[in-house]
């Protein structure tokens, strides 16, 4: 398995989740001060780091063995379907696009009425932790099946977190122009393809082209998702 595939997937997953988290941290920073916002975010990142630091190496030490693929693979498939179907719904117009500006305005309005700094801390912590938890689970599960590539999957997530964090702090506005839905669709496709590949391996399927089968799966699922999006658009159109 190529490290770029795993690192790229965790990078994109982390980037899109951190964009959402950054909106909440920005709202807290503007209404309740940057110290509160950044302290909450830092504690959440620390908690996520502890989860990855404890579970990642433990699972990585087990080696890439069949039973781990059979546990991790189905999780990846379910995560992938969850990400991909939301992206399809949004692309087809069945679900509203994720609007960072609207979320930011809503958070600011809610936080302005709260005088207590603890509310800001909790909001910031929860925003980063909840958005980051899925990425942490993805990184840990990647570690379980591809222990030699643990650094790649952690690295992808950390780099994305840093890029979004620095950009968010420099710009201090919500990232309303990031193509979140397209990124979510790519992450969904990658999770679904990796999950299918690993579950199949765990079940004893000898994939047609070895590791290269993964790319066939990505193409196949991308075609399927595109077809579903087009058919949903037609069914919704008046």
Partner 1 sequence: MKVLREIYDFITGGSIAAPIGLAVAILAVILLGHDEFSSYVFITLILLTLLAATREKTA
| Residues that bind partner 1 in the complex, under the rule CB under 8 A | 74-75, 77-79, 81-86, 88-89, 94-95, 133-134, 192, 196, 199-200, 203-208, 217, 220-221, 224-225, 228, 232
3-state secondary structure 164-199: HHHHHHHHCCCCCCCCHHHHHHHHHHHHHHHHHHHH
- Smallest separation (angstroms) from partner 1 to the CB of 10: 18
- Smallest separation (angstroms) from partner 1 to the CB of 175: 23
Q: Which DSSP string corresponds to 215-226?
A: HHHHHHHHHHHH
Residue 115 three-state SS = coil
Q: Tokens for 113?
A: 């009425």
Radius of gyration of the chain from its Cα atoms, rounded to whole angstroms: 19
- Smallest separation (angstroms) from partner 1 to the CB of 12: 17
Nearer of residues 65 and 78 to partner 1, judged by Cβ: 78
Nearer of residues 30 and 133 to partner 1, judged by Cβ: 133
Q: Which residues contact 4 (CB under 8 A, 6 or more apart)?
A: 152
Nearer of residues 95 and 108 to partner 1, judged by Cβ: 95
- Smallest separation (angstroms) from partner 1 to the CB of 34: 30
Residue pair 214/5 in contact by the 8 Å Cβ criterion: yes
Nearer of residues 67 and 208 to partner 1, judged by Cβ: 208
Helix (H) or strand (E) holding 23: helix 3-32
- Smallest separation (angstroms) from partner 1 to the CB of 35: 30
Nearer of residues 71 and 159 to partner 1, judged by Cβ: 71
**CB burial class (10 A; 0-12, 13-18, 19+) of residue 85?**
middle
């Amino acid at each position: 398995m190529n490290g770029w595939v795993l690192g790229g997937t965790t990078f994109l997953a982390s980037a899109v989740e951190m964009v959402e988290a950054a909106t909440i941290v920005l709202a807290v920073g503007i209404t309740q001060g940057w110290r509160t916002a950044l302290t909450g975010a830092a504690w959440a990142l620390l908690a996520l780091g502890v989860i990855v630091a404890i579970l990642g190496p433990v699972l990585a030490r087990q080696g890439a063995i069949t039973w781990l693929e059979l546990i991790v693979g189905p999780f990846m498939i379910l995560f992938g379907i969850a990400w991909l179907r939301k992206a399809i719904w949004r692309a087809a117009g069945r679900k509203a696009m994720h609007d960072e500006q609207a979320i930011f305005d809503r958070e600011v309005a809610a936080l302005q009425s709260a005088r207590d700094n603890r509310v800001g801390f909790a909001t910031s912590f929860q925003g980063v932790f909840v958005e980051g938890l899925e990425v942490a689970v993805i990184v840990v599960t990647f570690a379980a099946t591809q222990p030699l590539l643990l650094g790649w999957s952690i690295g992808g997530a950390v780099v994305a977190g840093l890029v979004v964090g620095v950009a968010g702090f420099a710009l201090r506005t919500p990232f309303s122009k990031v193509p979140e839905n397209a990124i979510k669709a790519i992450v969904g496709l990658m999770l679904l393809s990796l999950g299918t590949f690993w579950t199949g391996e765990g079940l004893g399927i000898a994939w047609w082209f070895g590791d290269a089968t993964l790319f066939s799966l990505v193409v196949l699922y991308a075609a399927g998702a595109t077809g579903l999006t087009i058919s949903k658009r037609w069914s919704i159109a008046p």
